[in-house]
Amino acid sequence: MTNTIVTYETFHGSAKKVAEIISKKLDCKYINVDTPFEAEDLKEIDNIILVFNFRGPYTAQLTKLYMSRVKEQLKNKNVILVGEGLFSEKEFPIVAEEISKLAPSRTFTKFFVNGQLRVATLFPEEKALLKKFSELTGMEIKDMGELDTNKAELVATEILALLESNEYKIEKTTESSIGKTEWVCTVCGYVHTGENPPEKCPLCGVPKEKFVKK
């Protein structure tokens, strides 16, 4: 899928492995979120998949920074978040909600892949952060075993099915669409091209009555 990009934020390399598995399934490029990939590069991209390592209260900082930089370009695109986690799926939605608020998109979906944690191999500052996190949440910090590559493969398959569904298809502007009416959502600014406004805004969900002609 040439109109899809996978980005990853990693510290020990496991999130990069998840990104690699997903990009292979989707036959698309994957890059470190630290790599310069700004607004101009997103013009031909419909689907952005962000993979990050979930490591407690300071997780996904680079992903959040990236999303805030390109938030205007994400409004009419599909964003899929994949957390590669140390703990459980219970905590992941909290971080996912923070990220989704940073850059409202056309669709937003989240997945979780069980990650790995070897407490003995962590840097002292990491141990201190996790200890504090454990005290605040009451969650026990323990080894989590190896990265669940089977779950990563399953997530990749599910993402592929999503991107091939009608909900995730983004209509391209063609010559036949030139001259058609443009409708603007008065709530979020989403622009729809067509004879009539959509039944509901795909970005914020308000009914068609909230659309006006551009």
Looking at residue 195, its pLDDT comes to: 79
Rounded to two decimals, the pTM is: 0.68
Query: What stretches in the chain show pLDDT beneath 70?
Result: 1-2, 11-12, 36-41, 55-59, 86-90, 116-122, 126, 139-145, 172-180
| Start-to-end C-alpha separation, the chain | 32
- Token duo for residue 156: 């990749």
Looking at residue 27, its pLDDT comes to: 94
Going by C-alpha positions, the residue among 141, 166, 133 that lies closest to residue 56 is 133
Give the model confidence (pLDDT) of 32-82 as tens digits: 887 765 545 677 889 999 998 776 545 677 788 888 888 888 888 999 999
Full set of structural domains in the chain with CATH: 4-168 (3.40.50.360), 175-213 (2.20.28.10)
